[in-house]
Chains A and B, each alone.
Chain A
Amino acid sequence: MSLLQEEREIILSNEYVDAFDFAEATEFVTNASKDLFISHHFKNKSRMLVQPRGGFPTYRQQYALYESFVDANVDVLPLTIDSNTRLNDYATAKKMLRLSEENDMDMLNGYPLVTHGYRTTRKMITHFNKPVSLRHGTPDARLLIETAIASGIFEIEGGPITYLLPYSKNFPLDKALLYWKYVERVCANYSRLNMPINRESFGPLTATLVPPAITIVIQLLEMLLSLEEGVESFSVSFAQQGSMNQDIVTGAVLRKLAKHYAAEIDCADAAIQLVYHQWMGAFPSKQDFAEQLINLSTVIASMVGADKIITKTREEATGIPTKEANAKTVADTQYCLGILNGLPTIVDEQEEEILTLEVQAVMEAVFNDPADTLWRKVFNSIKNGIIDVPFSPHIINQNAMITIRDASRNIRIIERGNVPIPERSYDYERAQCDLSKDTTSIVNNIIRDIGIMQ
């Protein structure tokens, strides 16, 4: 038995798992309908796929949510996982699920997949026969993704960096990197049976003034960590940043460099997609304004040429959206995409060059780390602050980089910390901003820059 299989058996021999049948799961994936694989839809699509977010505690609620989404002409269904399961606290998830079922009150902020189990969940997923995307935020997702794939969920979001730095204070990064290696290997192995299991990175990170260079570097590194384990289909992603031009530039550079770095490790054949998240920062509480913002996001996603868009709802400012509000966004976004025709092509060569130089310099610094494997190089680079994510709560993050918005609301780096931003790019970024202000006014500007959409 391989070491991986030994580890799988340990992970799945868990008191919260009801007798995991490896042979049956393998047979299920081998014979599963192509329609369940987002990789199949990416290959054959004529336009951008629309995917909402959403997860409710009970089976019945999740089923009803999927019915509303299907009525609204959804392309990809989400399965958002509750916070207890994300933190591997299956005992609490189980208790809260029972309370939710008995009292008709939601005691969980998502679907406790491990508690429901794959046999139950698979019934729902094969019934709707649409691709499902797993949305979570879990540093140790080993049990979760095993359950997901056996349920018929063939897109797994996340990664060791993007699901750790925005979400955790002290979960060890090296452990997260190794646990995600397991995820990549299991996805790669299942990918040989039928269509590829798609992996997607979580580009929004903290959704708070993250400069595109940092977003792109982390997207590229998670892509490489995934491809080197044998994953054949990967989506890089980012969220609306606040300036249309910066989004278009970011999309162009990300797409170009993803292809370039994939080819560098002999994975040029891998399918690489680009995913765009509607605005992930603080939303306006006025619901009509929220809909305008969502619509704007859809227009920008089209300008960027995204392969998939992930939606928000008019109720974003208030909490977890109702299924009605959620389905409404799907229908509205599909309508907007249907009428968006004859979009102009915008290319900003100067901005692309500045950004490309930044990304290449940071990637080179990561590769030049003396460690023997990519995951160790990544670990060291984050620890040293070569990669620095603004507003990460994690203790390993350097927090030395400072970013603000320029007059066109582009995110600019005004303090690079230890991130090796080349002089030419750094001078350019700083030249776009008024740096004569004192720190108190800069802090006030940062507060304004975070809340631009409110």
Chain B
Amino acid sequence: MKVVTGVVGNDIHVVANRLIDLSLQARGYEVFNLGVNTHLEEFFDAAVETGADALVISSLNGEAEGWGREVRLLKANYKTLDDLVMMIGGNLVVGSGNTEDIVARYKNYGFDLVCHQVDLNTGLDSLAAFLEERSQS
């Protein structure tokens, strides 16, 4: 399984990004890490280039929502990304907010998996379960 990962937007918080990379590798994924400060187009270009199964986006500074809104619009420009599993995690709002509302909003933006302030391994377990379920259906 191939996974593209990175931190979206103008967000330089690198620690979690490095840990996500290590953890994904430990779980046997082939990882393409775009690092911090990555724009959506770069994520989608990398997904096309690598033939990724999943895109795992992270964000810490809370500004992901501004970028998330444009996911459907941008992704529609690509012809081969319909099966790409879209996951986002980290701290997904500026300030605080109700997790249920946040998850619903991001699902509406086009994400299959939304992990707002969820422990890293719990989040990656949910990715594994999602991919497993989809391969059986």
Contacts and interface: CB of A to CB of B under 8 A. Distances in A.
Interface of A: 167, 169-170, 206, 208, 390-393, 395, 399, 402, 438-440, 442-444, 446-447, 450
A395 B14 CA distance: 11
A440 B18 contact: no
Interface stretch (B20-28, B71-79, B87-95, B110-118): B20-28
Contact of A393 (B12, B25, B26, B121): B12
Interface in B32-78: 35-37
B35 A169 contact: yes
B128 interface: no
B19 A393 contact: no
Given A208-B15, A392-B14, A440 B23 contact: yes
Nearest to B18: A391
Given A393-B35, A447-B19, A440 B14 contact: no
B8 to A, nearest CB: 13
A399 B22 CA distance: 10
A447 B22 CA distance: 12
Given A169-B36, A169-B37, A395-B35, A440 B15 contact: no
Nearest to B38: A169
A388 to B, nearest CB: 12
A412 B37 CA distance: 29
Contact of B14 (A393, A443, A446): A393
Nearest to B121: A440
State the 7 A-B residue pairs at the shortest beta-carbon distance, nearest first.
Answer: A439-B26, A393-B14, A393-B36, A169-B37, A443-B23, A443-B19, A393-B12
A443 B22 contact: yes
A206 B120 CA distance: 21
Interface of B: 12, 14-15, 17-19, 21-23, 25-26, 35-37, 120-121
B12 A439 contact: no
A402 B19 CA distance: 11
B22 to A, nearest CB: 6
Contacts of B19: 443, 446-447
What DSSP secondary structure best describes chain A's contact surface? loop
A343 B39 CA distance: 53
Given A390-B18, A395-B35, A402-B22, 19 more contacts: A169-B12, A169-B35, A169-B36, A170-B37, A208-B15, A391-B15, A391-B18, A393-B12, A393-B14, A438-B26, A439-B22, A440-B23, A440-B121, A443-B19, A443-B23, A443-B26, A443-B120, A446-B19, A450-B15
A391 B26 contact: no
Contacts of B12: 167, 169, 393
A117 B17 CA distance: 39
A444 B23 CA distance: 10
Given A208-B15, A391-B18, A392-B14, A440 B26 contact: yes
A206 B121 CA distance: 24
13 contacts: A169-B36, A169-B37, A208-B15, A391-B14, A391-B15, A393-B35, A393-B36, A393-B37, A399-B18, A439-B22, A439-B26, A440-B26, A442-B22
Contacts of A170: 37
Contacts of A167: 12
Contacts of A402: 22
Contacts of B18: 390-391, 399
A127 B14 CA distance: 41
Nearest to B124: A440
Nearest to B37: A169
Counting chain A CB atoms within 10 Å of each CB, which of B14, B19, B25, B35 scores highest? B14
